[in-house]
Amino acid sequence: MLRPLSPPFPSFFSFLSWVVLVEGSERLGGWIRSVRGPDGAVFELGPRGIRPAGVLGARTLLMVSELGLDSEVLPVRGDHAAAQNRFLYVGGALHALPSGIRGLLRPSPPFSKPLFWAGLKELTTPRGKDPDETVHSFAQRRLGPEVASLAMDSLCRGVFAGNSRELSIRSCFPSLFQAEQTHRSILLGLLLGAGRVPQPDSALIRQARAERWSQWSLRGGLETLPQALNTHLTSRGVSVLRGQPVCGLSLQAEGCWKVSLGDSNLEADHIISAIPASVLSKLLPAEAAPLAHALSTITAVSVAVVNLQYRGARLPVQGFGHLVPSSEDPGILGIVYDSVAFPEQDGSPPGLRLTVMLGGSWLRTLEARGSVLSQELFQKEAEKAAATQLGLKEPPSHCLVHLHKNCIPQYTLGHWQKLESATQFLAAQKLPLTLAGASYEGVAVNDCIESGRQAAARVLGTEPKS
Ligand SMILES: Cc1cc2nc3c(=O)[nH]c(=O)nc-3n(C[C@H](O)[C@H](O)[C@H](O)COP(=O)(O)OP(=O)(O)OC[C@H]3O[C@@H](n4cnc5c(N)ncnc54)[C@H](O)[C@@H]3O)c2cc1C
């Protein structure tokens, strides 16, 4: 939340002294959370890698440099196994996803034909006419049923822990949707690109491009990023309140907000809300009922994250990890081979670190039934998956289990209309409220940072550079 009072702002830094950041929990970072094991190994309970690609990836790297974290960055370079190899677990076996032109021409199980044929279908399929479509329907229409039910199903599980038959192509994968709209074909769109967008520049960004990084982390874990941001902002006058959940918002006669924090209140000329849409919907006053309704329909799913560490064990393959389509297992979304991408975080003596993600229809059914969701249940399922899918039959030496409730927003079919109605309401009512965070236009860390940057630029009246 942001509380700029009494503009004008002579400089950005003096503006910052009028900003209050209100965090409900005692810790900053939200889902970004890194914990150390007894041997110093780093376990990520949320995100574990940030992509450097594109303008948003570059802007995050710029921020990393501004925070003085360059020397902490752990890159995954383009020639590394974790950058080159990704797998699908189908039919009880791991299958490497093909890469490069030659890979597309070869037979590549679990797909029955070389993916070249899916590409040919894609190039000859006409443009879709609907304003939105499910990811599954879009992929089936353009790339065929196998790519839809194996590759795109798994991708939706890997990124959104969601169901490709419910998620929106327009909102979840806007670049694919736009490529079809603009160039009639995803492949043509990817080849021709979206035109030249001005790119930020820094030594770190140039290094990431030269070494073709696929992703990066930070030596002490990704939580170092919000911690550094906190130090940076507080040193410049931002007040950070922790452990103070906002429990209500009301509009004052003068047009500013009263922010209820339980025992105390704040006044704010403008609020940037970066909390989940459905949480905000419950805090809004009656005057904002139509907005609250639109936000309440942006739901989220839960994910159980199980970090496992094994002593003296070896993986059967080297890569970033593998995804599991829903047809293979309704509960295991995939396994990330953390030690392959970031061996520097393995601790001493080094142990093999993996993360098993559980969710999907399996978890949704358990939640709907009100079943007991014990740590033992998730640990047992995760160890079983590591044993059957990766051959790791010995018990792990260390295990962390966390159930993240409602952690990934679901951009279901028609999500764009919810955003449009929220935007229209805010503009028509001139409400001093700006929306940011994972609920709206992208769940990746880069997307969330960008949404915060754009929100701040809007409040300050400085147009975001695109
Ligand atoms: C398991 C998992 C793995 C992921 N992996 C990756 C990855 O590898 N790479 C990637 O790019 N992205 C990944 N993501 C996605 C990404 O981490 C999240 O989408 C992103 O961190 C969300 O950030 P946010 O600030 O929008 O929301 P949140 O992290 O949810 O932060 C919201 C904050 O608001 C606070 N809050 C809530 N209610 C109130 C209230 N009433 N008053 C005050 N404060 C309140 C919360 O305490 C929290 O700190 C992953 C997500 C998960 C869950």
| 23 CB within 6 A, ligand 1 | yes
From ligand 1's centre to the CA of 391, what distance in Å? 32
Structure tokens at 354: 């993996």
pLDDT digits (tens, 9 = 90+) for 246-272: 999 999 988 899 999 988 999 999 999
> Which atom of ligand 1 is the closest one to the Cα of 283?
41
pLDDT at 390: 98
pLDDT at 198: 83
pLDDT at 4: 40
Q: Report residue 320 CA to chain centroid gap.
A: 16
| 49 CB within 6 A, ligand 1 | yes
Q: What are phi and psi of 354, to 5 degrees?
A: -135, 155
From ligand 1's centre to the CA of 373, what distance in Å? 21
pLDDT at 195: 67
| 99 CB within 6 A, ligand 1 | no
Q: Three-state secondary structure along the chain? A: CCCCCCCCCCCHHHHHCCCEEECCCCCCCCCCCEEECCCCCEEECCCCCECCCHHHHHHHHHHHHHCCCHHHEEEECCCCHHHHCCEEEECCEEEECCCHHHHHHCCCCCCCCCCHHHHHHHHHCCCCCCCCCEHHHHHHHHHCHHHHHHHHHHHHHHHHCCCCCCEEHHHHCHHHHHHHHHHCCHHHHHHHCCCCCCCCCCHHHHHHHHCCCCEEEECCCCCHHHHHHHHHHHHCCCEEECCCCCCEEEECCCCCEEEECCCCEEEECCEEECCCHHHHHHHCCHHHHHHHHHHHCCCEEEEEEEEEEECCCCCCCCCCEEECCCCCCCCEEEEECHHHHCHHHCCCCCCEEEEEEECHHHHHHHHHHCCCCCHHHHHHHHHHHHHHHHCCCCCCCEEEEEEEEEEEECCECCHHHHHHHHHHHHHHHCCCEEECCCCCCCCCHHHHHHHHHHHHHHHHCCCCCC
> Which atom of ligand 1 is the closest one to the Cα of 447?
11
Residue nearest to atom 7 of ligand 1 (CA): 47
Residue nearest to atom 4 of ligand 1 (CA): 47
| 408 CB within 6 A, ligand 1 | yes
Q: What are phi and psi of 278, to 5 degrees?
A: -70, -30
Closest to 378 in 3D by CA, of 360, 403, 395:
403
First-to-last alpha carbon distance for the chain, in angstroms, is 24
Candidate of 159, 225, 275 to mutate for ligand 1, largest count of ligand atoms within 8 Å of Cβ: 275
| 305 CB within 6 A, ligand 1 | yes
| 73 CB within 6 A, ligand 1 | no
Domain boundaries, the chain: 48-74+203-277+415-460, 101-192
| 274 CB within 6 A, ligand 1 | yes
Cis peptide leading into residue 285 (ω within 30°)? no
Strand partners for 380: none
> Which atom of ligand 1 is the closest one to the Cα of 25?
47
Residue nearest to atom 8 of ligand 1 (CA): 47
Superfamily of domain 48-74+203-277+415-460: FAD/NAD(P)-binding domain (3.50.50.60)
Give the separation between CA 382 and CA 379, rounded to whole angstroms. Answer: 5
pLDDT at 303: 98
| 47 CB within 6 A, ligand 1 | yes
Cα distances from 390 to residues 161, 317, 385, in angstroms, run 21, 8, 8
Give the separation between CA 267 and CA 249, rounded to whole angstroms. Answer: 10
- Residue listed under structure tokens 């950005």: 12
| 265 CB within 6 A, ligand 1 | no
Asked whether 41 and 345 are in contact (CB, 8 A), the reply is: yes
pLDDT at 10: 40
Candidate of 3, 23, 31, 454 to mutate for ligand 1, largest count of ligand atoms within 8 Å of Cβ: 31
Strand partners for 20: 239
Residue positions counted in the chain:
466
Torsion on CA atoms 120, 122, 127, 131, rounded to nearest 10? 180
Residue nearest to atom 13 of ligand 1 (CA): 47
Structure tokens at 322: 């593998």
pLDDT at 194: 65
Residue nearest to atom 45 of ligand 1 (CA): 24
From ligand 1's centre to the CA of 394, what distance in Å? 33
Give the separation between CA 143 and CA 115, rounded to whole angstroms. Answer: 9
What is the side-by-side strand order in the sheet with 332-336? 93-96, 87-90, 321-323, 332-336, 352-358, 300-310, 398-409
Give the separation between CA 149 and CA 188, rounded to whole angstroms. Answer: 23
Cα distances from 378 to residues 336, 383, 392, in angstroms, run 16, 9, 17
Architecture per CATH, domain 101-192, reads as Orthogonal Bundle (1.10)
From ligand 1's centre to the CA of 407, what distance in Å? 7
pLDDT at 262: 85
| 448 CB within 6 A, ligand 1 | yes
| 444 CB within 6 A, ligand 1 | yes
> Which atom of ligand 1 is the closest one to the Cα of 22?
43
pTM: 0.95
- Is the Cα torsion angle 439, 440, 446, 450 positive or negative in sign? negative
pLDDT at 311: 96
Structure tokens at 306: 């199980």
Q: What are phi and psi of 361, to 5 degrees?
A: -65, -30
Give the separation between CA 61 and CA 55, rounded to whole angstroms. Answer: 10
pLDDT < 50 regions, the chain: 1-13, 465-466
